[in-house]
Amino acid sequence: MKFDDLGFEPQLQEGLEMMGFNTPTPIQEKAIPVILKNRDLIACAQTGTGKTAAFVLPILNKLCKGKSSKINTIIVSPTRELAMQIDRQIEGFSYFTNSSSFPIYGGGTGSDFDAQKKAIKNGSDILVCTPGRLLAHMKFNYFDPSGVKHFILDEADRMLDMGFYDDIMDITKKLPKKRQNLMFSATMPPKIRKLAGEILVKPESISLSISKPAEGITQKAYMVHDHQKIALTKELLKDKKLNHVLVFCSTKKSVKDLTRSLNKAGLPAKDIHSDLEQEEREKALLDFKNKKIKILVATDILSRGIDIKGIEIVINYEVPNDAEDYVHRIGRTARADRKGEAITFINGEHCLKFKQIEDLIERTLEKEPLPQGFEAAPVYNINRKGSGRNKFKKHFKSKKRHFNKKRKPKS
C-alpha cells in the first residue's frame, strides 16, 4: 500500500509527497482507514512505529474538508516532552493544509499560560495537552469544548502508570458525548482495556507485536554493586569520542548524583527530570540535540518521548521495572538503520527483572566482566533471596503469553 491509496485530500497528499512520505508503516496502514471512517479505535503499537502520523494524518485530512472557529481535536499525552514532539510533527504535516495546533502543558511562566489561553480562545484546530494543564484551562469559561469532534489518548498506559486516570475521566466528562475517541498504547494490560471500555464506543482494535530491539543495537550487561555504578559509568565513557549518550535512571536522586559526578570527572552532562522548570528541560534537550552537551541523564520521562537521531549509547543505570520498558529505552539508539550500543547495570536484587527482559527479547546476554581495579561483582542469580521471584513470576508469565500471542509467525 502507498499513501496515495488512502484517498487523502489533494493538498495533504501533495505535502506527503514533498516530504518524501510514500509508504505507510503497519500501524498507519491499519489505523488510518478506521479513523477516516469515524470509528473509535484502540491500538497497541510501541514508540517508533509511526503511530503519531497514524492519528494526525486522518485528522488533518478531515480538517481539509471543513473547519470551524472552535477546537476540533484534543490530543492528551503523559509528558510535556511528548506533547511538544507531537505538536512539532503536526506543524510539519499541517503546513500544506493551513490547520493550526498548539501545545498545552504546565511548568512554564505566566506568559506561557496566557499564550495557551489565547490559542484556546481563538479556536486552534488541534490542542496537544498534558492532563493537568488541560483541566486547569477547562475550569475557565473561555474554554469552549462544544466543537470537539476527536479525543485522542496517546501513550495511554504511561498516563495510567503516572496516576492520570481521574484526570482523564474528568476531561471526558467535559467533552461532547458525540465524538470520535482514539486510544494508542504501547502495552495493553487489563487497566487499559478497562479505560477503553469506559471511554470508547464499539471500538475497532489493532494490536501490533512488540518489536525486538533493532539488529543494529549491541546489547551488553554488567553485574555491578550500586556503589560502583557511578565509577563504572565514568570508566565506560572516558576517552570515547561520542556525541550523544543517553543514561536512564529510575530515580531523580540517581539522576542528580550521576550528573554531578560526571561533570566533576570532566564528562559534560545535563540532567532532566520533573523537578526542573519547563524552560530548563527544553534547554537541556536542545543542547543535547545540538551536541552542546554529549551526555543526557534522565528519568523514564524520556523513554518514549525523545526522538533525537544519532544517539550512540543508551545506558540503563538501573534495570527497568517493566521488561517492555527496556525495549522502549534502548530503542532510542540505532534508529533509521544506524548502529548503537545498549548497556544495562544489574545489581544483585534485580537479576530476576533482567531475566524477564531476556525472556521477552528471547536472548540471553553475556554478563561482561568489570574493568580491572573494580571489586568483585555480585553473582547473577535469579533465585537469590529478595530478588522478587514470587512477586514477579505470575506477572511475567502473563506478559510473556501476551507477547508471544501477538507475534506473527515467521514465513
The DSSP-derived string for 118-175 is HHHHTT-SEEEE-HHHHHHHHTSTT---TT--EEEESSHHHHHHTT-HHHHHHHHHTS
Which among 143, 176, 207 is the end of a domain? 207
Contact 252, 301 (CB under 8 A): no
Q: Which of 3-7, 95-99, 111-115, 272-276 has the lowest mean pLDDT?
A: 272-276
Contact 274, 301 (CB under 8 A): yes
| Domain identity same for 259 and 169 | no
pLDDT at 392: 40
| Domain identity same for 121 and 228 | no
From 42, 6, 333, select the one nearest 185 (Cα to Cα): 42
Mean local confidence (pLDDT), 235-243? 90
| Domain identity same for 17 and 153 | yes
Residue 302 — pLDDT band, cuts 50, 70, 90?
low
CB within 8 A of 75, min separation 6: which ones? 55, 83, 86, 126, 127, 128, 129, 152, 154
The count of C-alpha atoms lying within 13 angstroms of the C-alpha of 320, restricted to the half-sphere facing its C-beta, is: 25
Residue 145 — pLDDT band, cuts 50, 70, 90?
very high
Between helix 80-93 and helix 51-65 the angle, nearest 10°, is 50
Percent of the chain past pLDDT 90, that is, above it, reads 58
| Domain identity same for 49 and 169 | yes
Average pLDDT taken over every residue of the chain: 87
Task: Tell me the C-alpha distance between 183 and 186, whole Å.
Answer: 10
How is residue 391 written as a grid cell? 512477586
Task: Tell me the C-alpha distance between 145 and 155, whole Å.
Answer: 22
pLDDT at 378: 94
pLDDT at 337: 67
Percent of the chain past pLDDT 70, that is, above it, reads 89
- In this predicted model, what pLDDT tens digit does every residue of 57-75 receive, in sequence order? 999 999 999 888 899 999 9
| Domain identity same for 255 and 378 | yes
| Domain identity same for 20 and 57 | yes
Mean local confidence (pLDDT), 338-346? 93
For residue 39, give its domain range: 3-207
| Domain identity same for 372 and 348 | yes
Residue 338 — pLDDT band, cuts 50, 70, 90?
confident
Residue 146 has pLDDT above 60, yes or no: yes
Please indicate, yes or no, if residue 380 is contained in any of the structural domains: yes
pTM: 0.68
pLDDT at 108: 72
Please indicate, yes or no, if residue 169 is contained in any of the structural domains: yes
- Looking at the structure of the chain, the number of domains it has is 2
Contact 200, 229 (CB under 8 A): no
Mean local confidence (pLDDT), 114-129? 96
Buried b (16+ CB within 10 A) or exposed e, 222-241: bbbbeebbbbbbbbbbeeee
Please indicate, yes or no, if residue 409 is contained in any of the structural domains: no
Please indicate, yes or no, if residue 73 is contained in any of the structural domains: yes
pLDDT at 307: 66
How is residue 322 written as a grid cell? 517493566
pLDDT at 301: 63
Mean local confidence (pLDDT), 235-251? 91
Place of cell 516530504: 19
Which among 156, 174, 207 is the end of a domain? 207
pLDDT at 47: 65
| Domain identity same for 226 and 270 | yes
Please indicate, yes or no, if residue 212 is contained in any of the structural domains: no
Residue 360 has pLDDT above 70, yes or no: yes
Task: Tell me the C-alpha distance between 343 and 358, whole Å.
Answer: 13
Radius of gyration over alpha carbons of the chain, in Å? 22
| Domain identity same for 105 and 232 | no
Helix or strand or coil: residue 343? strand
pLDDT at 384: 62
| Domain identity same for 355 and 233 | yes
Looking at the DSSP bridge assignments, the partners of residue 101 are 126
Please indicate, yes or no, if residue 369 is contained in any of the structural domains: yes
Residue 401 has pLDDT above 80, yes or no: no
Provide the CATH number for the domain around residue 366: 3.40.50.300
| Domain identity same for 152 and 81 | yes
